[in-house]
Each structure stands twice: as C-alpha cells, then as structure tokens.
Amino acid sequence: MSDDIEFEEDDGIEDAVYNEEGQHVDTQDDLNAVINEQVQELIDHEDSKAWRKVLSMPEGRMAIWSILCEAGLHTTTFTGDRTGDFLEGRRDMGNWVLGRKVFTAGRKWYTMMGDEAEERDARIKEIKERRGYSNAT
C-alpha cells in the first residue's frame, strides 16, 4: 500500500451541470467554476483527513508541536530590526498551521500536544537532574 493520498473511486464530483442553486450551467466558464469548487471541496476533505491522521498519533503530534515551537509561536518576534520581519513571517506560518490545520481538525489536539510537551520536558528535566546536570556556569 502506498503512503500517497489517493482519491476514492467515487470522488463526490457529480457529472451533472448544475450549480449549488440548482440552476443549469450553460457556459464553459460556469461549468469550470462548479468543477473547481467541487474539486476544492474534495481536496479540503482529503487534507483535513490527513491532518487528523497525523494528529491522532503521538509521533505526529510531537512533530507538529516541534514545528509550532520552531515557528516561534510561543515567543515574541519583536527585535526592532529586519530580523523581526523574518521572525514574524515564521510565526505567521505557525499561526496558519495552528489555526487552519490543527484547530480545524479539533481544538483538543492543541491541548493534548501541550500536555504531552510538558510531560516530555518533565522527563528531560528528571533525566538531567539524575545525571548531575547543572545550569550554573
């Protein structure tokens, strides 16, 4: 079985040439618009399904959390110079992942990721303490 997303045989796109209001579509531009809308709905559905699958696995949540952290989602981006613009762009991408993908799949995933990150941090701290790690320089 391939890991690639494959569209189902019944792709949900109807062959009829009617728009959402039930009006007959009589121009190619109108037909193209209806088809584009139907295809976009299919793509959105498959995308949402893929994100839910990733978020349903602990490894997937850990990967997404690391992306959100690297994006600077939980930090300030103001530097007073051009670096701040770059950092704000990264942070904006993190906000997009969180708002458009994670929250769309379900807000519970963000809470779960945060809880799991806290647990990982506590385990790391415990391991360091057992091995005599010190922050003192």
pLDDT by residue (tens digit) across 98-136?
Answer: 999 999 999 999 999 999 999 999 999 999 999 999 886
Q: What is the pTM of this model?
A: 0.73
Q: What is the pLDDT of residues 5-17, one digit of tens each?
A: 555 556 555 555 6
The residue that leads in pLDDT, 28 or 39, is: 39
Number of domains forming the structure of the chain: 2
The answer on pLDDT for 2 being more than 50 is no
**Domain shared by 79 and 107, yes or no:** yes
Is there a domain that residue 5 lies in?
A: no
Phi first, then psi, for residue 33 (nearest 5°) are -65, -45
Torsion sign (Cα): 97, 103, 105, 109: positive
**Domain shared by 127 and 68, yes or no:** yes
**Domain shared by 66 and 101, yes or no:** yes
| Domain housing 43 | 14-55
**Domain shared by 50 and 72, yes or no:** no
**Domain shared by 82 and 134, yes or no:** yes
**Domain shared by 38 and 91, yes or no:** no
Is there a domain that residue 1 lies in?
A: no
Q: What is the pLDDT of residues 54-103, one digit of tens each?
A: 999 999 999 999 999 999 998 999 999 999 999 999 999 999 999 999 99
Is there a domain that residue 9 lies in?
A: no
Nearest in space to 55 (alpha carbons), one of 115, 105, 119, 120: 105
